[in-house]
Structure 1
């Protein structure tokens, strides 16, 4: 028990030393907030513990240096008079405030050997935060609105969308921001019109066409990309995605047969055991010994396979509707096979193994129609279409 306690104490000591070292290293490398976070975490556990005095000293040092660093950066950025610096300045003022709020609950922090409490120079940054936030709000709003009015670039609209959402986060309900967010989102979206062309001599089932063009099931829609299979008059589409069927090859209905003869030795009563001379063998008590009598049973099984296949061949084409040019083309091919296995037999089916007995449990079924075969290939087609689109996204 004593050994376990000593080991536990040793481990705690090592952990403590490691934390002190990490805190000092963070200060040495200028990572003051990292040092503050480590020190605060340790002091929350026990701020009056003598072994934690090093954290108090390091917290004082890291806080002073972090404050000086942020204030110097703010002073430099403000001298540049660049409105693009406002977000950085605003966040640095927030850091100054949040750093103080992190330490305040621990106060007072006693320093035992100096008979005093740790000193932190706290300031009220609320005015600076509000002033900078208002200037930043005006800047982000004006910048986004300018992009929405004068730009034709979707990237600019998406950047405006991000700026407006950030503005709405720091200053909710600012002016007509919700309307502008919707406008930036709409202008930044890529609209893709999807069509299906049948260039084969076969009829494409209506439900297959509807299934393939239902892009909700592909789960490809995202914040900036929308697929439509019905043109909407108020939308200027950026791209057209055309799924073209060029060949539909359907095999004839086939029935393949294979015959097997299975034999098995089975028990058929009993007989007395005899020796080589034909004499009946007896056991040590003089009783005649009985043994099983076997016979061979036979079963002829016919394994029957119904087979029919379809191959759909085509391509996916991307068109830039702004230039009416073909920009990409990808081959598309899908196969679907219908197979049904069953069997018939003549003879004693006890001679059969499980695999043959399973065949006998099945039966002949009607062959699917050509239309059904084409429709049954849709799942494979959809997966291949989705993979092509996913690997070759438009509008980015």
Structure 2
């Protein structure tokens, strides 16, 4: 028991030394925030514990050094007088403030070697944060307005400005008309795709198939920066066209194939008495006559009929850039559908059949689907393949 206790004390001491060493190493290498995080974690548990006292000094040291570093960086960025530095300055002030807020609940902290409270030079950064936030908000807002007035702005520019405006709305909610600008910039940064189906098969395709193929809301393809329309909106300039060109439709003749199957099976057919070598009925241990099952072979001939009809649609999917009027990509697309129905008749003893054949003889011939229905059913698979092509080959994002 004593050995176990001693071992636990040794392990605990080694872990504590390792943690102190890790924290000091973070300070020595300039990873001040890591050192602060490790120190705060230990002191939160018990800031009066003797083995946690080294973290008091290390926390003070790391905090002092990282504060000096951040303030020096702010001073340098401010001297550059570059408005693009405003966001970095704002984030640095946030870091300074957040560190203090994490340390405040632990104060006061005492240096065990001197018995005195350790000084943390805390500052109030509220005014600095408010001033920089206002300057940054104005910069981001004016930058968005300049972009909207500029000619030949591309989609990616609008998307970048959208992200900046979102950030502005986060740090300064309801600033001027930012939320209205967000809607405008989002609209201008969105790729609009007009989807059409062109029948080049010289055959009439079902109207409901075309409607189903163009039901873009059922594809789940729209994302934040890409919207697909099957109905043209006159107020929108479409960036791309997506054309599904149907080139060929093949429908096979209706066929019924026949197959003959013969099944045999031994089935139980009563019983008989078990006889010994002398022809006498054998008895069991209780004196009862011993009976054994009798079997006989039954046979059944099955005539299986399979109705078949198939259809196939082939075509090509084209991506067209409406600005350059160039074909960007084209992908072949093909879909097949097979109608198949089996049923059966029989002659003989049905008991010879397995369950699968027994089920078949319960079925009857059905009416073949019409050509229109076949084409529509083929289109269901075609829709999934079209969705796959679009998903795998997204427009600009």
TM-score band w.r.t. shorter chain = over 0.9
Task: Please say which of residues 205-214 and 224-233 is displaced more in the overlay.
Answer: 205-214
Verify: 1:298 aligned to 2:299, yes or no. Answer: yes
- Bigger shift: residues 57-66 or 361-370: 361-370
Q: How much has 1:29 moved relative to structure 2?
A: 2.4
SS at match of 2:315: strand
TM-score (norm 1): 0.93
* Aligned match of 2:342: 341
Cα distance in 2 for partners of 1:254, 1:304 equals: 10
* TM norm structure 2: 0.92
CA distance in 2, matches of 1:260, 1:103: 86
Residues 351-375 of structure 1: CA deviation (Å, up to 9, x unaligned): 1112222323433322222221222
Structure 1 residue runs without a partner (length 5+): none
Distance 1:352 1:9 in 2: 78
Residue matched to 1:100: 100
Matched, 1:253 2:260: no
CA deviations over 1:301-323 (Å, ceiling 9, x no partner): 12222212111100100111112
1:135 Cα deviation (Å)?
1.1
Residue by residue over 1:272-325, the C-alpha shift from the partner in whole angstroms, topping out at 9 and shown as x without a partner, is 44578x845645889875433322111111222221211110010011111222
Q: Measure the CA separation in 1 of the matches of 2:225 and 2:128.
A: 37
Alignment map for 1:381-392 (pairs within 5 Å): 381-392=382-393
- Aligned in 2, Cα 1:338/1:81: closer, same or farther, shift over 3 Å? same
Distance 1:172 1:290, change over 3 A: closer
Change (3 A) 1:164 1:282: closer
C-alpha distance in structure 1 between counterparts of 2:201 and 2:7, whole Å: 80
Q: Which moved more, 1:148-157 or 1:62-71?
A: 148-157
> Aligned residue for 2:240?
239
> Could you tell me which residue of structure 1 aligns to residue 115 of structure 2?
115
Distance 1:340 1:54 in 2: 82
Match of 1:42 in 2: 42
Checking the alignment, whether the CA contact within 8 Å between 1:280 and 1:288 is kept in structure 2 is: no
Deviations 1:155-202 (A, max 9, x none): 111111111111111111222212211111111111111100111133
Q: Do the aligned partners of 1:191 and 1:237 also contact (CA within 8 Å) in 2? A: yes
- Name 1:357's counterpart in structure 2: 358
Aligned residues: 395
1:199-240, Cα deviation, whole Å (9 max, x unpaired) = 113322222211111111111111111111111111111110
Q: Distance in 1 between matches of 2:8 and 2:210?
A: 70
Q: How far off its partner does 1:113 sit?
A: 2.2
Pair 1:179 & 2:207 matched: no
Once the two structures are TM-superposed, the CA of residue 270 in structure 1 deviates from its matched residue by 2.9
Q: Which residue of 1 aligns with 2:73?
A: 73
User: Structure 2 vs 1, CA of residues 340 and 8 (structure 1 numbering), >3 Å: closer, same or farther?
Assistant: farther
Which residue in 1 is equivalent to 2:325?
324
Q: Given the superposition, is the C-alpha separation of residues 299 and 54 from structure 1 closer, same or farther in structure 2, using an over 3 Å criterion?
A: same
Distance 2:255 2:11 in 1: 76
Residues 227-279 of structure 1 show CA distances to partners (whole Å, capped at 9, x for unaligned) of: 11111111111110001111111111221221111111222223344578x84
- 8 A Cα contact 1:93 1:125, kept in partner: yes
- Give the aligned partner of residue 136 of structure 1: 136
Alignment CA distance shift 1:288-1:112 (3 Å): closer
- In the TM superposition, residue 61 of structure 1 has moved relative to its aligned partner by 1.1
Equivalents in 1 of 2:70, 2:145: separation in Å? Answer: 31
1:144 deviation in Å? 1.3
Query: 1:343: Cα distance to partner?
Result: 2.2
CA contact (8 A) 2:276 2:282 kept: no
Between stretches 225-234 and 172-181, larger displacement belongs to 172-181
Which stretch of structure 1 is more off in the superposition, 359-368 or 218-227?
359-368
User: For 1:263 and 1:31, how far apart are their aligned partners in 2?
Assistant: 84
Tell me how far 1:97 sits from its aligned partner.
0.8
Measured in 2, the distance between the counterparts of 1:374 and 1:25 equals 72
Assess if the C-alpha contact under 8 Å between 2:258 and 2:306 holds in 1.
Answer: yes
Q: Give the Cα–Cα distance (whole angstroms) in 1 for the partners of residues 169 and 288 of structure 2.
A: 103
Alignment partner, residue 269 of structure 1: 270
Alignment CA distance shift 1:79-1:266 (3 Å): same
**TM-superposed deviation, 1:86:** 0.7
- TM superposition shift of 1:10: 5.8
Judged with a 3 Å threshold, the aligned counterparts in structure 2 of structure 1 residues 310 and 75 are, in CA distance, closer, same or farther, namely same
- Residue pair 1:272, 1:280 contacting (<8 A) in 2 also: no
